[in-house]
């Protein structure tokens, strides 16, 4: 582990590693950086404007070496500071007219803190007004002025005495001042919002600010930390509006890329004795920083400000090039913003340009611009950065000395990146993270057709269903371009992706039943694989799933279905009940009903007589497995219940409870008039004459079941699948295991296997090694009126999992209540879902195996081999 991650910032270090910004730069010269492998990178961040002359400018180093040769003292407070006095005089000479005094600081944030103190000392008022989406630093006062709650909340900011209004809105400022000027010390504003996304105000805004504040006796503070000292083509950005504030803060570029230094410039009227005598700093105004600042001003003013004129010319050239790219790809780039060499590329932050693509999710969750920066860095060797507040904006802020050739390189690199995004080729766009590069001759992914947006109507029932990537194949189901990645590459990418992304809407649909009633629903992804959910502690897993449920509720869902392992890790949803504001279902009731129907139908179609077959349920101790066993017991001659071998004693006890319920259930059916085939399990249970009373304690029934099973009953309880699976003609698998538990050598000749598990419990090698065996997926349903679910989930249009279908049926019926939760599935609910399916038009879809439609040739092969074996 790198010592930065281990000892400085593990959280940021991990994020930088995940998104591929974890470079180790060992040398910098001019506009270029060099990593530990010697690779060269064109730097277009310039430390957010703090490197006006690039890395290691010789003129700045010379100023430091000259100081060294003179042995000039550095930290000499309190005294008349020679270098600080010279730098202050030069700053005042270069600043807009009317500024008189300079107070030095060690950074931009410290300069802002000093400016706020200065304003409060002058006015005797405490309130500081700033703008939304602004950025003024991360010390507590500067952070309170910063207009972004995301950076404030964890630190108790804003502290009392700070207010915010919209940026660029003089009317909002005037309205505020009319009501609050008497309490307000100052209004702090950036001439161009930097971290806010390179946002320029309307023309004349700064002049209006100055006039309004002056009229109401409120001081103006211009924050020129990022925009000042040549960045926009003039010494200070406010010069272009012809405005002088009461107070101005500068920093970043003043250190010449070598030392941190900040400064507060103010008018004579804004300065007070209290401030002058009571504000100080040990390190501020030190000789090293002041000498560097003087060298910076020398370079900026050299040859009548030739460098500033060049910034205007080069900035216009760079902006024009980027605007050409934006015009070519308007679906990807919304705007090019800024002036001089303080530019921003605003990307679309919606799903619309990237249907059926992880790029759309990244855009929607404001993750796209970090990945643009990652691609440009790793593939194009051009270093850019997102803005902190404007999460859809990439900043282009190169050193002021950038040349024309480098500008052309930046524009070309941006165009290649945007072209790749426009083609929705996620594999190529993120491939550098996992060592994938699409061959030159290979075509990029083609833009898919746009998704037709479906909106809810007042008459709709409302549901949501939670999904998650059960296995790596689910990623390529959603984003076809990822099929180019190897399994190892896809696994690496998914581990990075899942840690960064929040729950998101995969797709939306409207279901119409046979009566014309409708239900609108969202499919919401919990971005964790089955293995990740199982590995989490319960608290973390519940938090992940509740975040998805909260999104569902926010979008209007009245019942939420728990798909796959979102049900498993919450004990069939029961652990969510203390937290959820909405009705829940696992969908397991209809999963069981449809699964048994699929299994028995398939068995009959290949020639099995259910009254003579031995059935087996793998995972019989679970909620679905137990319910499958109850329904299967009604039809088969013998039944084998197979539990978890990892916990044999606990598993055996749970299955003995299942055996008790089977006996009781079959006896109840007999009392209700059900007739069972002679010799069947149902017939055996119905003939038992010494059963305990129905109200007898469970322990009495468990002891009774043990005796019945030991006496040679056609019902077996075991954890030994190898010993018992080869006896089964019809097998149903329903476990939460991630492994393939059913392998070719365990299967009886001509067996039928119905796999209810996701991921599959049946090894795909069965397809190749056991042509006599029929494997089908359970729980695949044909929906009424064949709706488009917006994402095919690996299915044909108009089909879905049974658990999804149960959620839809409950929404169509308006039954917003908890159903199918926990380890015990209610037999009444099983019957309810059977009835609703027939009523509303839900039915078994065509048979599938291993998430693919079952080839008719397989049916014929299995039938033929069965006949041959029988003969």
Mind telling me the catalytic residues? 135, 223, 252
Q: Give alpha helix (H) positions in 644-697.
A: 648-671, 681-687
Rounded Cα distance between 773 and 603, Å, is: 11
Rounded Cα distance between 741 and 719, Å, is: 12
Q: Which of 71, 141, 85, 75 is nearest to 281 (CA)?
A: 75
Q: Is 5 helix (H, G, I), strand (E, B) or coil?
A: helix
Q: Which two tokens stand for residue 829?
A: 């609910």
Q: Which residue is associated with the tokens 């909260």?
A: 550
Reduce the secondary structure of 774-814 to three states and give it as a string.
EEEECCEEECCCCCCCCCCCCCCCCEEEHHHHHHHHHHHHC
Rounded Cα distance between 804 and 782, Å, is: 11
Q: Which of 255, 213, 242, 264 is nearest to 100 (CA)?
A: 264
Q: Which of 357, 537, 502, 333 is nearest to 430 (CA)?
A: 357
Rounded Cα distance between 96 and 244, Å, is: 6
Rounded Cα distance between 609 and 820, Å, is: 31
CA atoms lying within 13 Å on the CB side of residue 639: 31
Put the strands of the sheet holding 843-844 in their side by side order.
799-801, 780-782, 843-844
Strand partners, 521: 463, 509
Reduce the secondary structure of 152-218 to three states and give it as a string.
HHHHCCCCCCEEEECCCCHHHHHHHHHHHHHHEEEEEECCCECCCCCECCCCCHHHHHHHHHHHCCC
Rounded Cα distance between 725 and 748, Å, is: 8
Rounded Cα distance between 275 and 186, Å, is: 15
Rounded Cα distance between 448 and 497, Å, is: 22
DSSP secondary structure letters along 243-276: ---SEEEE-GGGGTTTS--EEEEE-TTT--HHHH
Contacts of 615 (CB under 8 A, 6+ apart): 632, 633, 635, 636, 638, 639, 640, 728, 729, 730, 731, 732
């Amino acid at each position: 582990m790198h010592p930065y991650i281990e000892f400085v910032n593990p959280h940021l270090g991990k994020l930088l590693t995940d998104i591929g910004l974890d470079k180790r730069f060992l040398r910098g010269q001019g506009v270029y950086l060099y990593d530990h492998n010697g690779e060269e990178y064109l730097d277009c961040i310039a430390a957010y404007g703090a490197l006006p002359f690039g890395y290691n400018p010789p003129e700045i180093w010379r100023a430091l070496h000259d100081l060294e040769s003179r042995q000039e003292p550095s930290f000499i407070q309190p005294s008349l500071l020679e270098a600080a006095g010279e730098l202050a005089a030069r700053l005042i000479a270069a600043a807009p007219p009317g500024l008189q005094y300079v107070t030095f600081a060690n950074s931009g944030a410290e300069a802002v803190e000093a400016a706020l103190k200065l304003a409060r000392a002058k006015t005797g008022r405490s309130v500081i007004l700033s703008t939304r989406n602004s950025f003024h630093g991360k010390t507590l006062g500067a952070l309170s002025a910063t207009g972004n709650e995301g950076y404030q909340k964890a630190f108790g900011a804003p502290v009392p005495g700070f207010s915010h209004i919209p940026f660029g809105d003089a009317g909002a400022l005037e309205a505020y001042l009319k009501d609050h000027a008497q309490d307000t010390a100052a209004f702090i504003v950036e001439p161009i919002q930097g971290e806010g996304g390179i946002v320029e105000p309307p023309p004349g805004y700064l002049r209006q600010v100055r006039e309004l504040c002056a009229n109401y006796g409120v001081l103006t503070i211009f924050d020129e930390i990022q925009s000042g000292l040549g960045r926009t083509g003039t010494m200070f950005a406010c010069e272009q509006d012809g405005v002088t504030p009461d107070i101005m803060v500068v920093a970043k570029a003043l250190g010449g890329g070598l030392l941190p230094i900040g400064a507060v410039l103010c008018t004579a009227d804004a300065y007070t004795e209290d401030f002058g005598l009571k504000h100080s700093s040990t390190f501020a105004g030190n000789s090293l920083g002041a000498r560097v600042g003087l060298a910076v001003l020398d370079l900026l003013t050299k040859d009548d400000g030739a460098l500033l004129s060049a910034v205007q010319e080069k900035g216009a050239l760079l902006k024009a090039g980027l605007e050409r790219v934006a015009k070519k790809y308007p679906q990807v780039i919304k705007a090019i913003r800024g002036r001089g060499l303080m530019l921003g590329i605003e990307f679309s932050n919606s799903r619309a340009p990237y249907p059926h693509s992880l790029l759309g999710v990244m855009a929607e969750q404001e993750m796209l611009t970090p990945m643009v920066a990652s691609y440009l860095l790793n593939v194009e060797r051009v270093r850019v950065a997102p803005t902190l507040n404007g999460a859809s904006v990439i900043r282009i802020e190169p050193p002021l000395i950038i040349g024309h050739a480098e500008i052309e390189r930046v524009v070309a690199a941006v165009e290649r990146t945007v072209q790749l995004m426009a083609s929705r080729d996620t594999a190529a766009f993120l491939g550098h993270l996992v060592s994938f590069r699409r061959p030159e001759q290979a075509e990029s992914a083609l833009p898919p057709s746009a998704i037709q947006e479906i909106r809810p109507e007042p008459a709709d029932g409302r549901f949501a269903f939670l999904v998650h990537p059960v296995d790596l194949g689910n990623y390529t189901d959603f984003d076809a371009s990822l099929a180019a990645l190897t399994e190892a590459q896809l696994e690496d990418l998914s581990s990075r992706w899942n840690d960064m992304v929040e729950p998101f809407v995969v797709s939306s649909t409207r279901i119409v039943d046979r009566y014309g009633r409708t239900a609108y629903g969202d499919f919401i992804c919990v971005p964790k694989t089955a293995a990740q959910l199982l590995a989490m502690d319960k608290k973390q897993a519940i938090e992940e799933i509740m975040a998805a449920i909260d999104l569902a509720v926010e979008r209007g869902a009245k019942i939420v279905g728990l798909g796959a392992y979102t049900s498993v890790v919450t004990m069939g949803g029961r652990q969510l009940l203390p937290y959820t504001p909405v009705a829940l279902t696992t969908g397991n009731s209809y999963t069981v009903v449809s699964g048994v129907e699929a299994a028995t139908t398939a068995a009959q179609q290949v020639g099995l007589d259910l009254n003579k077959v031995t059935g087996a349920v793998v995972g019989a101790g679970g909620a679905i497995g137990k319910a499958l066993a109850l329904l299967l017991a009604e039809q088969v001659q013998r039944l084998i219940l197979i539990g978890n071998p990892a916990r044999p004693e606990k598993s055996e006890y749970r299955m003995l409870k299942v055996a008790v319920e089977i006996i009781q259930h079959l006896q109840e059916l007999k009392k209700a008039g059900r007739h069972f085939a002679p010799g069947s399990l149902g017939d055996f249970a119905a003939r038992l004459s010494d059963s305990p009373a129905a109200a007898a304690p469970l322990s009495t029934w468990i002891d009774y079941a043990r005796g019945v099973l030991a006496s040679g009953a056609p019902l077996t309880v075991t954890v030994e699948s190898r010993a018992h699976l080869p006896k089964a003609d019809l097998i149903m698998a329903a476990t939460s295991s991630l492994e393939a538990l059913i392998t070719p050598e365990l299967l009886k000749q001509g067996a039928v296997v119905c796999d209810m598990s996701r991921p599959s419990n049946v090894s795909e090698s069965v397809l190749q090694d056991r042509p006599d065996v029929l494997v089908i997926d359970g729980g695949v349903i044909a929906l009424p009126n064949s709706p488009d679910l917006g994402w095919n989930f690996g299915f044909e249009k108009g089909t879905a999992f049974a658990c999804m279908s149960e959620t839809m049926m409950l929404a169509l019926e308006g039954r917003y209540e908890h159903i199918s939760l926990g380890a015990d599935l209610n037999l009444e609910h099983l019957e309810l879902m059977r009835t609703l399916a027939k009523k509303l038009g839900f039915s078994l879809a065509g048979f599938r195996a291993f998430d693919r439609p079952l080839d008719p040739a397989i049916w014929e092969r299995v039938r033929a081999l069965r006949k041959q074996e029988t003969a």
